[in-house]
Amino acid sequence: MRILVCGGAGYIGSHTCVALLERGHDVVIGDNFSNSSPKVLARLQRITGVPVACERVDLRNRLALIRLLLRHRFDAVIHFAALKAVGDSCKRPLEYFQNNISGTINLLQAMQAANIHRLVFSSSATVYGDPEAVPVQEGARLQVTNPYGRTKLVVEQLIGDLCHSQPSFHVANLRYFNPVGAHPSGLIGEDPAGIPNNLMPYICRVAAGRSRRLSIFGGDYPTPDGTGVRDYIHVTDLAQAHVDALEYLADNGRSLTVNLGTGRGVSVLELVRAFEDASGRKVPYEIVERRAGDVAQVWADPSLARRLLGWRAQLDVDAMCRDAWRWQFMNPDGYSGRVAGTGRRPARGFAPTNGATSPLRI
């Protein structure tokens, strides 16, 4: 298939491009690079051996989108392009509504104009808010606690209405739990702007000596060790689920909504210890007040994805930590720096995997 990957230069999008290309699909990235770097393109080529087509486009520009979709003959669209910082969304909700909701409406209109009827949408476990029970199933009550979450829920709902009105339109809503890790080559990974809000990038920052210690938000939750429990999922497992979802849409001609997680809850302290083991670095921490808006524990029931897509997460927390650390170690400045690799002793747990057998330069 020929796939438009909106937001394909970003963290999850870039890993999904690798999975799509390795599966033999044809990929065009559409991105405005508001939270990513064009440097990812050369790295994707280095990993896959295939030059990746990319068009700079902003989802808020409907005409540009229509032109892009009419210029190519896409079989489907994967839609990652969104603003995603919860705290930021509380400060400037209108920007989030415009980018994530209006941008998606523009994309859907462009798809209609170009007669494209298959969409994979990046949704989030955030649509469950504070769930009544874990593991969370897809039929759980939906509730949101912040403007970012609202954009995900609204988009799921408006896509649902479109599917009702136009039965030939098929969508895979993929509700991600907590994506972490990086491609095992160390060439692509998560490159948060500024100080990270999410746990794994912050742990990496502390392990690299760029912050003194991790603040653990709350040690008094009703969880086994008192710290928050989440369902961390390796980004390459997540990427594979997009390929499976696309093929499901093409083969079955039906829409679906599925959780993407491992089905296993991991506490903050467990993740810190796993990271220390994988990296050989200490991660000093202190336990501080709970973060406003956090929930005690959320993990997925991923069995529907298994039943419908034949997909299940393969990689464990050790692999997530090892790959996150490899990316951090090799790219201390993210995409804005050079790839480290030659003349340095690799940190523990660094045996190159997945064919990355030589020093990596780009």
C-beta atoms surrounding 9 within 10 Å: 30
User: Are the C-beta atoms of residues 9 and 54 closer than 8 Å to each other?
Assistant: yes
Q: Which is nearer to ligand NAD, 232 or 248 (CB)?
A: 232
Q: Which is nearer to ligand NAD, 13 or 349 (CB)?
A: 13
Cα distances from 265 to residues 168, 224, 270, 296, in angstroms, run 38, 11, 10, 11
Length of the chain: 362
In this structure, what are the phi and psi dihedrals at residue 238, rounded to the nearest 5 degrees?
-60, -45
φ, ψ dihedrals at 179, nearest 5°: -70, 130
CB of 360 to ligand NAD, least distance (A): 21
CB-based burial label for 321 (10 Å; 0-12, 13-18, 19+): buried
Contact between residue 285 and residue 247 where contact means Cβ atoms under 8 Å apart: no
H or E stretch covering 4: strand 2-6
* Residue 202's binding partner out of ligand NAD, ligand UD1, none, with CB under 5 to 8 Å set by partner kind: ligand UD1
**Quick check: 97 binds ligand UD1 (CB under 6 A)?**
no
Task: Please identify the residue of the shown chain whose CB is closest to the bound ligand NAD.
Answer: 10
Calpha distance 82→129 (Å, rounded) = 19
Interaction of residue 33 with ligand NAD, rule CB under 6 A: yes
User: Minimum CB separation from ligand NAD for residue 82, in Å?
Assistant: 3
> Judged by CB under 6 A, which of 126, 240, 259, 279 binds ligand UD1?
126
Question: Which one of 124, 173, 240, 257 is in contact with ligand UD1 (CB under 6 A)?
Answer: 124
Which residues in 80-109 contact ligand NAD (CB under 6 A)? 80-84, 99, 103
DSSP string covering 26-52: EEEEEE--TTS-THHHHHHHHHHSS--
Query: Residue 103 binds what, of ligand NAD, ligand UD1, none (CB under 5 to 8 Å, by partner type)?
Result: ligand NAD
Residue from 3, 4, 5, 7 touching ligand NAD (CB under 6 A): that is 7
**11, 148, 202, 232: the active-site residue:** 148
Residues with catalytic function: 148
Residues that bind ligand NAD (CB under 6 A): 7, 9-13, 31-36, 58-60, 80-84, 99, 103, 122, 124, 176, 179
Residues that bind ligand UD1 (CB under 6 A): 86, 124, 126, 149, 178, 197-199, 202, 214-217, 228, 230, 268, 291, 293-294
